[in-house]
C-alpha cells in the first residue's frame, strides 16, 4: 500500500507523560513503523474493499442455517443467502447472533472487553503543543494524539483523546455532556490546550473497545458449518491484532 500511496509513515514526536510530567520522548522512525492512511485513515479500508460488495448501515439481527446461511435484518427482512458467515463483532454481541448449530457460548463468553471514550477537538488554526502523540499515565486519559500532524498539508488542528478503559467502564452510561466536560477538564490539566476555544468537540463512547493480551487462538473456524469469528479480542485490543486475526482466518478458509 506504500507503493500505491495508500499509507505513509507517521514520524510523530512521541512522549510519555506520567502524573503530568514528560518522562520520555523520541521521534517515531522507520523501525518499528507507525502508518497512517492517505489522505485519511479510511483510505485503507476503501483500498482493501475495492471490487467487493459492501453494504453499510445494515444490521444483521438473525442468522439461520439451512442449505446455506440465511441472514435477516432487524425488521426480519431476508438479507440474502450465503455459503460462509464470518463475524468480526465483539464477543458479547456475537453471542446474541451466533446460531445454536455453532456451539460457541462457553468458548467466547469468558472474553471481557473494556470500554473507552474518544474525545475529538477541532481548531481552525494550527496549534503546536510540543509533541504529536502521548502515552499518558496517572490520569483518566490514557492517550492523546494530534491527528492533524499525520498530514503536513493541513492548516488546522485536530486532537484525539482516549480515556482509560477503567474510567470509561465505570462511566459508560453517564450523561455524554458530563463525560465531555470531564475529559476536557482532564486534558486541560495535562497540556496547554484551551478546550473552550475549540471549533468542534465530539465524543464517541465504545462499550467494547479493548481487551488484555490473550494467549489463545487468533480466530475461530467451524469448517463443517462454514462459520468463522475474528477480531482484535482474540489477540489484543489493537487494530493490528484485528487485521491479523481476520487475515489468518481468511488464509485458513482459502485452504478449506
In a domain, 2, yes or no: no
* HSE-CB for 231 with a 13 A CA cutoff: 19
In a domain, 1, yes or no: no
* pLDDT reported for residue 29: 79
Task: Give the 3-state secondary structure percentages of the chain, helix then strand then coil, rounded to 5.
Answer: 25, 30, 45
My answer on whether 225 and 102 are in the same domain is yes
CATH code for the domain of 220: 3.50.50.60
Query: How does DSSP classify residue 111?
Result: -
My answer on whether 37 and 144 are in the same domain is yes
My answer on whether 91 and 118 are in the same domain is no
* pLDDT reported for residue 147: 93
My answer on whether 160 and 34 are in the same domain is yes
> Residue 143's closest CA among 173, 116, 124, 125?
116
**Number of domains comprising the chain:** 2
Q: Coil, strand, or helix at residue 3? A: coil
User: Is the whole model's pTM more than 0.75, yes or no?
Assistant: yes
My answer on whether 119 and 23 are in the same domain is yes
My answer on whether 121 and 18 are in the same domain is yes
My answer on whether 126 and 194 are in the same domain is yes
My answer on whether 97 and 137 are in the same domain is no
Domain extent at residue 59: 55-111+213-254
In a domain, 48, yes or no: no
In a domain, 189, yes or no: yes
Per-residue pLDDT of the chain (256 residues; tens, 9 = 90+): 888 889 988 999 999 999 999 999 999 976 677 888 988 889 999 999 999 999 889 989 899 998 999 999 999 999 999 999 999 999 888 888 888 888 776 778 788 899 999 999 999 999 999 999 999 999 999 999 999 998 877 789 999 999 999 999 999 999 999 999 999 999 999 998 999 999 999 999 999 988 888 887 899 999 999 999 999 999 988 888 999 999 999 999 998 6
> Residue 215's closest CA among 240, 182, 241?
241
In a domain, 197, yes or no: yes
My answer on whether 97 and 119 are in the same domain is no
* pLDDT reported for residue 256: 67
C-alpha cell recorded at residue 135: 502515552
Whether the CB-CB separation of 116 and 237 falls below 8 Å is answered with: no
My answer on whether 126 and 15 are in the same domain is yes
Amino acid at each position: 500500500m506504500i507503493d500505491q500511496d495508500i499509507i505513509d509513515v507517521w514520524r510523530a514526536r512521541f512522549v510519555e507523560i506520567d502524573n503530568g510530567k514528560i518522562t520520555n520522548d523520541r521521534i517515531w522512525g522507520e523501525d518499528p513503523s507507525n502508518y497512517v492512511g492517505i489522505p485519511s485513515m479510511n483510505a485503507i479500508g476503501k483500498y482493501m474493499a475495492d471490487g467487493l460488495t459492501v453494504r453499510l448501515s445494515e444490521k444483521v439481527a438473525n442468522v439461520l442455517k439451512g442449505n446455506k446461511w440465511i441472514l435477516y435484518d432487524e425488521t426480519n427482512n431476508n438479507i440474502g443467502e450465503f455459503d460462509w458467515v464470518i463475524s468480526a463483532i465483539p464477543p458479547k454481541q456475537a453471542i446474541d447472533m451466533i446460531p445454536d448449530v455453532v456451539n460457541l457460548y462457553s468458548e467466547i463468553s469468558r472474553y471481557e472487553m473494556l470500554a473507552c471514550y474518544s474525545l475529538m477537538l477541532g481548531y481552525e488554526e494550527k496549534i503546536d503543543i510540543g509533541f504529536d502523540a502521548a502515552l499518558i499515565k496517572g490520569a483518566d486519559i490514557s492517550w492523546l494524539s494530534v491527528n492533524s500532524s499525520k498530514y503536513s498539508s493541513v492548516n488546522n488542528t485536530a486532537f484525539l483523546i482516549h480515556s482509560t478503559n477503567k474510567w470509561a467502564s465505570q462511566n459508560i452510561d453517564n450523561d455524554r455532556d458530563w463525560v465531555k466536560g470531564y475529559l476536557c477538564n482532564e486534558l486541560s490539566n495535562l497540556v496547554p490546550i484551551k478546550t473552550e476555544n475549540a471549533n468542534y468537540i465530539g465524543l464517541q463512547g465504545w462499550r467494547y473497545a479493548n481487551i488484555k493480551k490473550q494467549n489463545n487462538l487468533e480466530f475461530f473456524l467451524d469448517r463443517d458449518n462454514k462459520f468463522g469469528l475474528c477480531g482484535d479480542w482474540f489477540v489484543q485490543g489493537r487494530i493490528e491484532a484485528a487485521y491479523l486475526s481476520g487475515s489468518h482466518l481468511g488464509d485458513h478458509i482459502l485452504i478449506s
